[in-house]
Amino acid sequence: MKIIEAGVELVDDFDAAAIMKKIERAGRVCYKSEGNITCDSAEKFIRGIIKRGHESVIEHATVSFKIICDRGVTHELVRHRIASFSQESTRFCDYTAGKFGGELTFIKPCFWNDDDENFKLWKETMALVEKNYLALRANGARPEEARSILPNSLKTEIFVTMNLREWRHFLKLRTAKAAHPQMREVALKIYSILAEKLPAVFDDIQP
């Protein structure tokens, strides 16, 4: 049994300046103000349209992340629209196979310390799940059958693409204190990347 922490990976290290220029070019069509484009006009323009709520303009750019989290988080994540998702399948992935090391991987709950009694109970439960999953497979159960005992804590990988407007919507909801702690853990990691690379689009969210 492996226990790991949630993580995110920016799939394409995009050219932030090029995205900003594209958004400005698209937005200025609305006002026929293309003549006002300069080498450094994009940031002010984009901050202005976001402040005015004209966020449809930022839908012209998309960003993709590979997110490693537990399946409980993905149940919430895939409720977001508009977005594209490609997720690791417990039906077609055989965790007894060599590429998985013949063991299950679980995401450590971010709300319990290692010495917490609840964490110890959780860890014992995950060990039992792994033992019984492997036993089911040894008894001839197919992966799509054995998966019926797999918990929310099972590690999964999901490839997520959203346009910038939808990422803003996602981050406003999922970085809030009322969000589920494990979803918020993932959202804050995404926010830190996007706010650094595209501050004009994201730094007003302020988790």
Q: Any idea which residues carry the catalytic annotation?
A: 174
Q: Which residue has the tokens 């690791």?
A: 88
CA angle 116, 119, 123 (to 5 degrees): 145
**What distance in Å separates the CA atoms of residue 80 and residue 169, rounded to the nearest whole number?**
9
All residues at 6 or more sequence positions from 179 whose CB lies less than 8 Å from its CB, including other chains: 173, 187
All residues at 6 or more sequence positions from 88 whose CB lies less than 8 Å from its CB, including other chains: 156, 157, 158
Query: Per-residue b/e over 57-88, b at no fewer than 16 CB within 10 Å?
Result: bbeebbbebebbbbbbbbebbeebeebeeeee
Q: Are 94 and 181 in contact (CB under 8 A)?
A: no
DSSP 13: -
All residues at 6 or more sequence positions from 100 whose CB lies less than 8 Å from its CB, including other chains: 93, 94
Q: What are phi and psi of 32, to 5 degrees?
A: 50, 50
Of 203, 200, 204, 171, the C-alpha closest to 17 is: 200
